[in-house]
Amino acid sequence: MKPKPTFVAFILAVTGLVVAIVFFEHASPDHAQNRDFVALLAARRSLDQTVVQHALEARFALAANYDQLASDDLNLRRLQLEGSAFLPKFLRGAERLGIERDLDRYGALADRRRLLLERFKSKNALLRNSISYFPSLAADLVRRARDPALVARVNDLRAQTLNLALQTNRGVSDSQRDSVRAVATLMAASADASERRGLELMLSHARVIASEKEQTDGLLQQILALPIDEARKEVSACYQDAYLRATSRASKFGSFVSALSVLLLVLVAYAGLRLRRAAAELGRYNERLETAVSERTAELNQEMARRAQMEIELRQAQKLESVGQLASGIAHEINTPIQYVGDSIHFLRDAFADFTRVLDAYRAGLAGAEANGVVLLPFEAAREVEEELDLPAMKSEVAQAFELTLDGTKQVAHIVSAMKSFAHTSVDKAPTDLNAAIENTLIVARNEYKYVAELELELGELPEVTCNAGGIRQVVLNLLVNAAHAISDVVDKSGERGLIRIRTEVQGSDVVVSITDSGGGIPEAVAPRIFDPFFTTKPLGKGSGQGLAISRSIIEQHAGKLWFETTAKGTTFFIRLPLETEERDPFTPAERDGLEPSAPNGATAPGPL
């Protein structure tokens, strides 16, 4: 589902390229610019017409001054088309160059017209100057002339010249030339200097009129012949074409841009969607990660707790082992003297019996002598001592004492034997007589319960159970001590003695040991936590909170189960152990099970001394 980076880069590059092309090509004609340019062309057209009209008006004296033409010139300069300053920006490339070329041509023609117009104004002014002056000049000559022929010639020249001035399509006529020639002849013949000067001035003005008229009209013709309208129309037509093309192109690009925009929006939307999906996936992944981390943390915590537990167990085991070794040593030390104490008491009892027999024989002899009347005075004192000591009573008491002593030594030997067997703290498993192990434990723990409870044993017939006898004894001891404590809590209040019942039985392939006390039961609030390490309800210093935790751990190592049932009248702890434990202890190789049944287990059988 993940697109390759090269593909993404390709898409981006293509999009960027398209956007760039569109950006540079997308030049929709600016309507305002177009409107202005078209208006400018229209204004120029109007001015192109009026400037010629005003020139014609000036030529025929319809306009008295050049203010109109000056105004046209100013307006033409103001509405400058030349150059590209006002060219709409959408025009580009060849189109723009073409229109610029057309505009340059039009501009050059306009410049040419401006030059011709200025010349025209000057020439026309001279023409007008002479035309204005001519009638008064002629009138002056006529007024002063004495020769009627001169008057006629002057009037003729005036008429011919002014007539000429009014004709735009005709050159100097023959009659005008004749008239000039006639006036010239008269001037040459004139004797009056002032009249000659007047005629000369008239002739020169007539020449000015003729030449300036020709030049003026020539300039006007040139101006009218300028293909300026055509040039402007060319600009206009080219521009119209370009505008139409640009409009259609822009509309095409507009649709393209719209399409591209939509495409981009879709792409963006798609990218957004993908991003969202990716974010969601990331969120889920994070959740999973968190779960995994918390699970791992929990595992770690469990593992750490387990390690701590194992460490505690190991230490406990080590402690027990050393205590056991100590106890074993002590037991061994006691065992030897108690044996010869026992042997000596046996011997003393037998010896006393022998002495009693001797004494009895002496006494019988004495009694026979007395009965024969022999009074042996020295025996009187012995008789008195005998009577004083109540020998017969002493005899039975001594026998009793011996029995008691023997019992005691037998008990001591029993304890020592139990101690020796209890102190055997090997973690190895071996076929074990559970009942014997329980009994040994009871002996060791006797002091814990004998003041608060009666003990009731219901030990059933059990096969040997492959187990770690030390561990099981530790569990039973723990439960026994707890039971005694539970009862003592109650006993302290009621003053009665409680009852501890221990039962063993085979249930299917399991052995179940139950230890029931008549204590106050386990409160409901506490019940779920009693197997937690370090949990204890006992006063500070009385319990470590480890007992039940370790016990459960030990039983679980045997693939067994430790649980309890409790009421307000007491609690029963159950130990269920499989007869054949599957090896659960990772520290012990499984095959050792098969190797060990023959291992010596003398310590588990508390035999008589």
Q: Which residues bind other proteins (CB under 8 A)?
A: 19, 22-23, 26, 28, 30-33, 36, 63-71, 73-75, 77-80, 86, 115, 118-119, 121-122, 125-126, 128-133, 136, 201, 204-205, 208, 254, 257-258, 260-262, 264-265, 268
- Nearer CB in complex with other proteins: 214/593: 214
CA 337 to chain centre: 79
Specify whether the CB–CB gap between 461 and 311 falls below 8 A: no
- Nearer CB in complex with other proteins: 263/389: 263
Compute the distance between CA of residue 479 and CA of residue 514 in angstroms, rounded to an integer: 10
Specify whether the CB–CB gap between 48 and 82 falls below 8 A: no
The minimum distance between CB 236 and other proteins, in angstroms, equals: 19
Contact partners, residue 453, CB within 8 Å, separation at least 6: 483, 484, 487, 491, 497, 498, 499, 500, 517, 518
- Nearer CB in complex with other proteins: 258/325: 258
Contact partners, residue 332, CB within 8 Å, separation at least 6: 420
- Nearer CB in complex with other proteins: 260/459: 260
- Nearer CB in complex with other proteins: 208/442: 208
- Nearer CB in complex with other proteins: 91/603: 91
The minimum distance between CB 254 and other proteins, in angstroms, equals: 5
The minimum distance between CB 136 and other proteins, in angstroms, equals: 5
Q: What is the largest CA-CA distance in the chain?
A: 251
Compute the distance between CA of residue 278 and CA of residue 286 in angstroms, rounded to an integer: 12
The minimum distance between CB 264 and other proteins, in angstroms, equals: 4
Compute the distance between CA of residue 300 and CA of residue 305 in angstroms, rounded to an integer: 8
Closest CA to 80 of 57, 54, 55, 114: 114
> Token digits for 199?
């005629």
Specify whether the CB–CB gap between 221 and 163 falls below 8 A: no
The minimum distance between CB 138 and other proteins, in angstroms, equals: 12
- Nearer CB in complex with other proteins: 262/527: 262
Rounded to 5 degrees, what are φ and ψ at 397? -65, -45
Compute the distance between CA of residue 303 and CA of residue 269 in angstroms, rounded to an integer: 49
- Tokens 């590209």 belong to residue: 84
Specify whether the CB–CB gap between 420 and 327 falls below 8 A: yes
The minimum distance between CB 213 and other proteins, in angstroms, equals: 14
The minimum distance between CB 106 and other proteins, in angstroms, equals: 18
- Nearer CB in complex with other proteins: 131/550: 131
The minimum distance between CB 193 and other proteins, in angstroms, equals: 13
The minimum distance between CB 251 and other proteins, in angstroms, equals: 10
Closest CA to 537 of 589, 459, 583, 482: 482
- Nearer CB in complex with other proteins: 15/344: 15
The minimum distance between CB 10 and other proteins, in angstroms, equals: 17
- Cα 206 to Cα 52, 65, 242: the distances in Å are 27, 23, 55
Rounded to 5 degrees, what are φ and ψ at 578? -70, 145
- Nearer CB in complex with other proteins: 8/282: 8
Specify whether the CB–CB gap between 250 and 26 falls below 8 A: yes
In the chain, the amino acid numbered 168 is T
The minimum distance between CB 117 and other proteins, in angstroms, equals: 10
**Cβ count within 10 A of residue 318:** 11
- Nearer CB in complex with other proteins: 202/419: 202
Compute the distance between CA of residue 60 and CA of residue 44 in angstroms, rounded to an integer: 24
